[in-house]
Amino acid sequence: MRDYPLIGIPVYPRTGTGAVLTDIHPTPDGPRYATRKDFVYGEDVTIGDWTISTEGLPRYEEGGGERR
């Protein structure tokens, strides 16, 4: 999961939140997402035709270690 921010996937293991970005559209500065839907870990998230449970996404402890 540490690579997600490097490739633009907004998932925040310390806060237990994330976002689904959709509806890519062209702009003068290049493609951009038009829609952002924030979620809290534990909610089901719909991406295209798929609904994904976020119940099992790992959280990180305050000290930086991953909770198991």
DSSP-derived pairing of the beta strands 44-47 and 11-12: unpaired
Query: What is the pLDDT, as a whole number, of residue 44?
Result: 94
Contacts of 48 (CB under 8 A, 6+ apart): none
Region 21-26: what's the mean pLDDT? Answer: 89
What's the rounded Cα separation, in Å, for the pair 49 and 6? 25
pLDDT band at residue 26, thresholds of 50, 70 and 90? very high
Residue 6 has pLDDT above 70, yes or no: no
Mean pLDDT over each residue of the chain, to the nearest integer: 80
pLDDT at 3 over 80: no
pTM: 0.66
Is the dihedral angle over the CA atoms 31, 12, 40, 55 positive or is it negative?
A: positive
- Spell out the domain ranges in the chain: 5-53
